[in-house]
Amino acid sequence: SIVKIGEEVRAKVIGVTRDGKNLRNVRISLSLRALKDDPWDAHKDLLVEGGHATGKVVSLTDFGAFVELAEGIEGLLHISELGKDLKHASLAAKEGDEVRVAIERVDRAQRRISLCKLSPAEIQAIDEGTFDAAQRPKSLKPGSHIKVVVGRVDHAGVQVQVRGVLGKRGRGFITLRDLGSLGAGDTRKSLAPGSEIDVKIVGVDRRGGLKCSVKGMETDAERQAVRDYKKETAKQSFGTFGDLLRTKLAPDSDSNG
């Protein structure tokens, strides 16, 4: 038990009720927990969406693992983060395991935290001090041009991670047809894990992953080059016409001599 008979404890009065007009019959409700600081307030710097933490697995279910981030604070690591086609989280983890996670979503009202597992590359970047949240793009909306780091390359395409963004919200994928000029030759050799490339976000899949395209980035660059060329040509044409017009309108020095 938490307390023993005869033990002296400090508690907070959280309610007083009386039974009718009998002043002697008073019930006082006390709470030991109320005296403690709210862990959500005490660890508010930890509970930042996009941040990262090290936690301990405290329970396993068929929909994921609950991870203790600090005393009194737990987050859910969805089963899809633990492996493919798992029926129960216990098939990929056990209670007491230490896990490195990114904080995806924080709902203070419902006291719920969604987590995702950090990749080995993300953990390495954090440990080596090379991860820099300041490199996060201003926007991750479709149409945005961003820098990504190449992860795994397979027969379907290339997995990438947005520079400056941890976890699921920064994960993206480039299909083979969207590799553009980088798709020529041996893709595995031209796109080494850890290399950085520029891409365009062309959509978001049903799981929230970013659909990225090198081809889209190159197409936008070509269109911008054409616009810049036309603008420069127009300036030069106007300048040539302006020079000619000024020559025609200038007073004839011979006739005035």
Size (the chain), residues: 257
CA distance 66 to 63: 10
CATH entry, 133-215, from 3.30.565.10, 2.102.10.10, 3.50.50.60, 2.40.50.140: 2.40.50.140
User: What is the Cα Rg of the chain in Å?
Assistant: 31
- How confident is the prediction along the chain (257 residues), in pLDDT tens digits per residue? 567 788 887 777 777 776 666 666 777 787 766 667 778 888 888 888 889 999 999 999 999 999 999 988 999 999 999 988 899 999 999 999 999 999 999 998 899 999 999 988 889 889 988 888 888 899 999 999 999 999 888 888 999 999 899 988 899 999 999 998 888 766 666 788 888 999 999 999 888 889 999 999 999 989 988 888 888 787 776 566 566 666 655 666 454 54
CATH entry, 43-128, from 1.10.3720.10, 2.40.10.10, 2.40.50.140, 3.40.50.460: 2.40.50.140
Torsion angle of the four alpha carbons 96, 101, 103, 106, in this order, in degrees rounded to the nearest 10? -20
Domain residue ranges in the chain? 43-128, 133-215
211 contacts 201 by C-beta, under 8 angstroms = yes
Q: Which pTM does this prediction carry? A: 0.66
Closest CA to 74 of 85, 59, 89, 87: 59
